[in-house]
Structures are given as structure tokens and as C-alpha cells.
Amino acid sequence: MEIKYVPEACRGKKAKYSGTITLLCPTFNERYQYIDDSGFDLDAKEEDADTMKQMRSLRKLVGMSEKHYVAVDIKTKDGNTQHTSFAEMANDPGCDAILIEIGSKMVSGFALGNG
């Protein structure tokens, strides 16, 4: 199933970006395979989580998420920068939070009606 996802960085009055990312949602089997392969702990509380372990897991999840990107239309609010692909976002440190958000959604799931 394809969805148009609006990242947190594109929501609200103080949003730095605008736009959407069209994603092919992972299946049940893919989600659980990603959890297994990445070692991501969905139940870890921030204060209890081993930060380095979770960061390694998130890095793996971001990499795994790349194949789910169908289309990218993300622009800075000032209009100076536009991203049209995962690769462009991955090369802009300003997009790290968006990539991590989507990577973590690969295992936690996407809420219906987000886009």
C-alpha cells in the first residue's frame, strides 16, 4: 500500500520544511524482519535504552527504509532547498530527523490518514 506521508518537520507553524514523501508501506513480515535485523527495541524507554545500540539500530532502519521511498517532495520553507529523492535527503544533515522518523515508522507502523 502506498501512502503520502507528512513528516513532523513539515507540520505546524514552526515547520522548517513543507511537502510529502510517498512511501510503500512495509508488510507485516517486512516490519518484523526489520525489527529482527536491526535489533531495534520498540519498548525501550529513552532513559533505559543503550543510546549507541539504538542509534545503530536506527541507522540500519534508515538504510532498510530506502527501498520504500516512491517519491520525495520536500522543500525548505524559505524555498532555498528542494529534495526529490532519498539520496538527496541522506546527503543533507538537516533531513536526518525526517530519515530517522521514517526509519522508525518502518517497524512501528504508519497511522492511517497521515498524508
Q: Is the pLDDT of residue 108 over 60?
A: yes
What residues does each domain of the chain span? 2-107
pLDDT tens per residue, range 30-54: 999 998 998 887 776 655 557 777 8
Which residues are CB-contacts of 100 (< 8 A; sequence separation ≥ 6)?
58, 62
pLDDT number for residue 115: 45
pLDDT tens per residue, range 63-101: 999 999 999 999 999 989 999 999 999 999 999 999 999
Q: What is residue 110's DSSP assignment?
A: -
Output the pTM of the full model.
0.85
